[in-house]
Amino acid sequence: MSPSAETIQKLRAMTGAGIMDCKAALAHSKDDIEKAIQYLREKGVASAVKKAERTAKQGLVSSYIHAGGKLGVLVEVNCETDFVARTEDFQNLVKELAMQVAAANPLYINKDDMPQEVVDKEKEIYKAQLKEEKKPEKVIEKIIEGKLEKFYTQVCLVDQPYIRDTSGKQKIKDVITQAIAKIGENIVVKRFARFRVGEE
């Protein structure tokens, strides 16, 4: 039995995917919306990974001002063409990323952007804490890796939980990947700056 037009429209509204993709996802998942979303994500991620290898040299610089002018953010996000940079979907994504930077105060774009000495210092702190707690040597490295992953979700923009996702499961890199799948071009956060009045 084919999925109903109502179910297809509902899935489209939730994912932004095309009609044929929604039909295929619903057929594959036997009309289970959650499974259909998962199916589309997997398909989108697969195509987005290929697009992520392409050069992104166009884009936008956007600003977000909050708290009566006491907090401001500038963010540069790149895409492949000026045409995409002018689209509403891309502009909305850039605004969302600027709001994320304002609200969650990341220090780096991703972990590759983080100086090695910062990572080494964190590791030293964790190691000292774990030795103080008398943790066995063989599990210390594994615990440190787990603590580092948590640290990345606090200080790296792409690893942070998306502020609009109340479940806390969706990360900024997922938001960007979904945008790549929907827009059809590679998207890269190039840089950002966050200013708060009175802060050094």
- pLDDT tens digit sequence for 137-178: 888 888 999 999 999 999 999 999 999 998 888 999 999 988
What is the C-alpha to C-alpha distance for residues 192 and 75, in angstroms, rounded to an integer? 4
Question: Using CA atoms in the order 33, 35, 39, 44, what is the torsion angle rounded to 10 degrees?
Answer: 60
Question: Using CA atoms in the order 28, 34, 38, 43, what is the torsion angle rounded to 10 degrees?
Answer: 50
Tens-digit pLDDT profile for residues 30-84: 888 888 888 877 776 555 556 666 777 899 999 999 878 999 999 999 999 999 9
For 115-154, give the CATH class: mainly alpha
Tokens of 21: 């993709």
What is the C-alpha to C-alpha distance for residues 178 and 68, in angstroms, rounded to an integer? 32
Confidence band, pLDDT 50/70/90 cuts, at residue 15: low
CATH 3.40.30.10 is held by the domain 58-110+156-196? no
What is the C-alpha to C-alpha distance for residues 116 and 96, in angstroms, rounded to an integer? 29
Higher-confidence residue of 43 and 120: namely 120
What is the C-alpha to C-alpha distance for residues 132 and 40, in angstroms, rounded to an integer? 47
Do 59 and 44 contact (CB within 8 A), yes or no? no
Tens-digit pLDDT profile for residues 81-114: 999 999 999 999 999 999 999 999 999 999 999 9
Say what the pLDDT of residue 57 is: 84
**Is the model's pLDDT at 132 over the cut of 70?**
yes
CATH, range 5-51: 1.10.8.10
Higher-confidence residue of 28 and 50: namely 28
Cα–Cα distance list, 45 to 113, 157, 182 (Å):
23, 19, 10
Higher-confidence residue of 72 and 19: namely 72
Domain boundaries, the chain: 5-51, 58-110+156-196, 115-154
**Is the model's pLDDT at 24 over the cut of 90?**
no
| Residue 99: count of CB within 10 angstroms of its CB | 17
Going 58 to 162 to 38 to 87, the CA torsion angle's sign is: negative
Do 75 and 100 contact (CB within 8 A), yes or no? no
